[in-house]
Amino acid sequence: MISIDKLVVGKSNVSTLFAFIRRKGEIVSSKFIDSAKLNFVNRQWQENGRDFFSFNCISHWVLIAIVEEDKDSCFQVEMLRRLGGRVLDFCDREYIKDLQFVGELDKECALAYVEGMLLASYTFDNYKTDPKRVIHPFDHLDVINEHVETEDLQRLLIVARAVEKCKDLVNEPYCSLNAEGLAAAFVNMSHEVGIDVEVMHKQQIEAKQMGGILAVNKGSIDPPTFTVMQYSPENAVNEKPLVLVGKGLVYDTGGLNLKPGDYMNDMKEDMAGAAVMACAMYAVAALGLPVKVVGLFPSTDNRPGGDAYASGDIVNMYDGTNVEVVNTDAEGRMILADALAYAKEFSPALVIDAATLTGAASRAIGPYGIACVEKDAEKYMDCLCGCGEQVYERIARFPFWREYDQLIKSDIADIKNCGPAEAGMITAGKFLAYFTDYPFIHLDIAGVAMFDKKNNYTGKGATGFGVRLIVEFADAFASMCKHDKYLGKKI
């Protein structure tokens, strides 16, 4: 990750980016840029709509970027993040290692640019053996903006570090990150920031009769785990915790309902939900947010081994529910259901789960956001959607009508683990909601957990999509608790 410092006065002969927000046709002016460059920039901007300029001054570069003003303030901020990724690409191409950023921008827009550059600087090259392996040559950014404080930059670095941890976990192949490895990673990051953590291994999972986790694990040679993380700061403003649940399926073959070959190429990403939630907790603790948070992360792989669970099986879950298995590839909801039932032990104010759960979610909204349903959590949902707009990790709310309950009814058990092809994302949510008796939000991140090509500052491969959303929401949740007597800590 690149390093960042705040400067009061710029340095001479150092590559510099000047960024401006302008309406179409409006001229660019600055006392720091000579008139010849300004005249060229304004002519190109007005005549051709050109918005990025680079001037090679031999000892350094002068970069000028113009972001067109937009009435949507959230999109405007997002354009600055994307500019950060764009500038990093240029710096890498030209082997620019240091850059100072001078922007006639407000605090939010200036920080968005820095955030974009931070996030774009991620690389996963652990397995490249060439000593000249390709990495980002760019190394350091100085920020010159009177509105931005050093504390603002530190916050960005903490959240970006959490996103980086998430990406590392999701990019790591199954051969080096099974369920026990994922739990160990969660333990290590918990110890870094003072989170209490416990890992239940197979014997404890069996003792608790978590049938969903055990059923999915039957075909594997590796044991399952169930990680419980608890962040309880002394200044927590909430009595009832915010509980985060994440799907930790470290590899998914589909089980006996085997996936076609091409569909298994990226199945190391199937634990992205757990990685997102655990890394968001890491950031919440590192930031010292005054909110009590619990993380529950069931983990296993799903393989067609000799003892694998099969379609037609009846699985007795942690809460006593009998589930008819109609598709072994609907395994994520099986392990999540045990975790959601277990969440009742913490008397939560709200439970949010994240999972790469259904192709239906991806097909419905593409790689642009998170598909979502909620049960008894409308006020939290409104807040979460607002947070999604702020960080541009947006949420698409799906209906959750009671008629959908009929689609998971079983003739021989309490419910079945998969409905018809129609409304696949919603019926998966209905299955999960069956195990809840508290305000509940389900986030299906199947469309955004991993990209097969570079996408703005997100890059190729694991995205970390959702970490920034949950951190933003945890901060907002703390504010809600301060003004809600039911949620707030009883004194």
Predicted local confidence at residue 379, as pLDDT: 95
DSSP reduced 3-state for 5:
strand
For the entire predicted model, the pTM comes to 0.96
Q: How does strand 293-302 pair with strand 248-252? A: parallel
* Same CATH fold assignment for domains 3-148 and 176-482: no
Was domain 3-148 assigned CATH 3.40.220.10?
yes
How far, in Å, CA of 182 to CA of 176, rounded? 9
Catalytic residue among 86, 333, 416, 468: 333
Predicted local confidence at residue 490, as pLDDT: 44
| Residues contacting 373, CB < 8 A, separation 6+ | 397, 398, 399, 400, 425, 426, 429, 433, 441, 442
| Degrees to nearest 5, angle at CA 237 with 235 and 238 | 125
Predicted local confidence at residue 491, as pLDDT: 35
**Is-catalytic flag, 259?**
yes
Q: So where are the chain's domains?
A: 3-148, 176-482
| Residue of 227, 419, 437 whose CA lies nearest to 429 | 419
Predicted local confidence at residue 128, as pLDDT: 81
Backbone angles phi, psi at 412, to 5 degrees: -120, -5
Which CATH number does 176-482 carry? 3.40.630.10
DSSP reduced 3-state for 55:
strand
Q: Which residues of the chain have pLDDT under 70?
A: 131-135, 485-491
What are the Cα distances from residue 471, in Å, to 4, 90, 307, 425, 463? Answer: 21, 30, 40, 24, 16
Predicted local confidence at residue 260, as pLDDT: 87
| Residues contacting 397, CB < 8 A, separation 6+ | 372, 373, 374, 381, 385
Q: Which helix (H) or strand (E) holds 269?
A: none
Q: Are 169 and 185 in contact (CB under 8 A)?
A: yes
Catalytic residue among 6, 155, 208, 259: 259
Amino acid identity of 442?
H
Predicted local confidence at residue 131, as pLDDT: 61
